[in-house]
Structure 1
């Protein structure tokens, strides 16, 4: 077993953007490995490529040792004081959101940190890399705030392929471990199941929720908690703010408006805990306003939040496939196909769902996730929406098996789950 997980995919992206005149913004959920990527893997790369230690300026803003540098003016003075000649300096700042105040968030144009970083970029001998765990601060406004000089690198928890490369052993056993505990890097260092469970549960209460409550001045933490439970227990199910608000009111006796629920949903997404997929009308080529599907960024966190009591394999597999598609940089929607049926002179319309409609550049695929299609009726039910798209884009069904890829008489690719997760080019087969 290796001692270090080599996250070459992200390291290659960082080294490929080195010296490109832009601020490299590395985003992702807290504890997914951004700090290790920046301060260990990328730092070692710089040293190996001939950069001297004094040319690397590292600041971890979530560390008490660097508390005063959360003030952008202090941060600027510290960094500029380290730049003493015309050599190239590499500035590595971790958890940059700590240098942005709540008041500044209300008017992003006044965020002082952005002005500090833009000012540093005017120096010809600096290359800046920052990490952050909040997309509102670091994604939505980044292009305007950095005046077109922000370059985002999205980091996800460990993929199954990364975990399997580290763990080795039997694929199916490794997958069951991954489907239970997910891919947060430190989980792999825990020896017992109890340690893994406790670590993941504590991440929610001691890290993520505290961050969100403090950052957004959450007035109803109980609602945030119940909302998170609801999303975790229904990953891959269609929902919206109104539906969740009604559920909280009737089932949990929590009186909360759909507006508050909608805001809290956005906070959970902005903190990278969840992401959502919109519904897309395949034939009408338009999006539905609601409902959407929500998926947890790490399946282990989802399971921990539910005390490992809800193990619906179908939804867990769908969530894992969704996360893998995002990691491979596809845009992902939920497909809706209208099927017209008729008998005896009567015609009825029925909406059927395609789990994922994915796009990257000119490529477009339709994907169904199926736990088991051993019965012909189950297989036909899964293939039916794919057959009715009436277009020529590639259609794929991913099944939880170790089967070799094959294509049926309708041109639909049948792909085993392990093949998909371990082979970056599986969709091209």
Structure 2
């Protein structure tokens, strides 16, 4: 790799980072710890690296110590694992002080983890981003030997979204009509266009999302995994979007795609969905009650950003509302998020958080019919549970407290719920709940 090109890239990137304005995000980093940041493309991983670099300079580092390379730059298209040592040589040409290395989308370079481990062994300061969930997998963790701390980066949560819009959202401010009106307007846009940072001030957010979905996410999956039938992949993801809010089997998705005339096998359906999960397009929520085989084969699928889901729907507010709740809970609770459907006890709950001892239903609004259904399911669940549970119904805008059969149910507007998700509880055990 030409060292002059590397120097040019690094110095140019220093100027970009120096001048960029950054929206504060709710992530904390331990000093002198190496990190791997992973998450969906365009979620803001690079900006977090910029913030880390700016903070280092504020604390006394020189800009010459910031060694930043983005491996999606076309000038690095021929870069291989053998070229990594050139970066180290160039770094010491640019500074006689301790370098801080920032490697963006490093998963594009085969064998990168060997270099990353060596750098850590040599006590270098390294920050890495990637857009592949396998980078958080057990295999990569073992390869890196515990030398890096992994951190998942999501699109803006609703609190960060309001911060980016400069809308105050302290509890006291939310009581005023003026602020509440702004928050409600922001909620509508967040539901429709999601939390990718570049959608916030984009006057044509839908067109931007379409381009990102087609070229970045689908293109990335197709190229990375050499997908032979891109049309079948697109059809499959559209069918998955139609299933948001209910469990679905791989077999039924296979039949739905096959019925369109697409040539696809059952195994290919599962492979394509695995690819979508690896690229942070989708995530699964499993039924807490089911035995292992059914739990694995009949999940609910959700999209990691509402804006992408909305491209595949037509006027379906209920699905967007539930997806937003699922994303918020998933981002905080990850694998400790479940649905709860018990045929034995005739209970069907949208979400269950065992570590937080919380059951959540989602309804756009509570009318006579939906009130009976949602409240009834929560009351029955609480009565059959062996431990006290927090019971919540998330609506678009309604707020009240319902007392029924000795149970207290909180009805919360979506905005209020999204702003308090992190406060639901972090207990690290699974409580004793009936099955």
Q: State the TM-score, normalizing by the size of structure 1.
A: 0.83
Contact 2:38/2:135 (8 A) holds in 1: no
Q: Which residue of the partner structure matches residue 206 of structure 2?
A: 197
Contact 1:337/1:389 (8 A) holds in 2: no
Q: Which residue of the partner structure matches residue 177 of structure 2?
A: none
Does residue 182 of structure 1 match 2:191?
Answer: no
Does residue 19 of structure 1 match 2:32?
Answer: yes
Does residue 95 of structure 1 match 2:92?
Answer: no
Which stretch of the first structure deviates more once superposed, 206-215 or 392-401?
Answer: 392-401
- Secondary structure in 2 matching 1:199: helix
CA distance 1:36–1:313, shift in 2 (3 Å): same
Contact 2:240/2:253 (8 A) holds in 1: no
2:61 to 20, 29, 51: 51
CA distance 1:268–1:336, shift in 2 (3 Å): same
Deviation at 1:53, TM superposition (A): 1.4
Matches of residues 270-309 of structure 1 in structure 2 within 5 Å? 270-281=278-289, 288-304=295-311, 306=312
Q: Which residue of the partner structure matches residue 377 of structure 1?
A: 372
Give, in whole Å, the separation in 2 of the partners of 1:140 and 1:31.
Answer: 25
Aligned residue pair count: 386
CA distance 1:405–1:4, shift in 2 (3 Å): farther
Contact 2:26/2:160 (8 A) holds in 1: no
**What value does the CA root-mean-square deviation take over the aligned residues?**
2.5
**Unaligned runs of at least 5 residues, structure 2:** 1-19, 168-180, 426-435
Give, in whole Å, the separation in 2 of the partners of 1:310 and 1:184.
Answer: 20
Which stretch of the first structure deviates more once superposed, 143-152 or 55-64?
Answer: 143-152
Q: Which residue of the partner structure matches residue 67 of structure 1?
A: 77
Deviation at 1:402, TM superposition (A): 4.7
Does residue 247 of structure 1 match 2:256?
Answer: yes
- Secondary structure in 2 matching 1:8: coil
Q: Which residue of the partner structure matches residue 336 of structure 1?
A: 341
Matches of residues 135-214 of structure 1 in structure 2 within 5 Å? 135-167=133-165, 168=167, 170-191=182-203, 195-214=204-223
Q: State the TM-score, normalizing by the size of structure 2.
A: 0.82
CA distance 1:7–1:35, shift in 2 (3 Å): same
Deviation at 1:286, TM superposition (A): 9.7
Contact 1:35/1:94 (8 A) holds in 2: yes
**Unaligned runs of at least 5 residues, structure 1:** 101-111, 341-349
2:360 to 360, 367, 377: 367
More strand per residue: 1 or 2? 1
CA distance 1:385–1:99, shift in 2 (3 Å): farther
Contact 1:337/1:388 (8 A) holds in 2: no
Contact 2:32/2:125 (8 A) holds in 1: yes
Matches of residues 306-317 of structure 1 in structure 2 within 5 Å? 306=312, 310-317=314-321
Deviation at 1:310, TM superposition (A): 1.5
Deviation at 1:149, TM superposition (A): 2.0
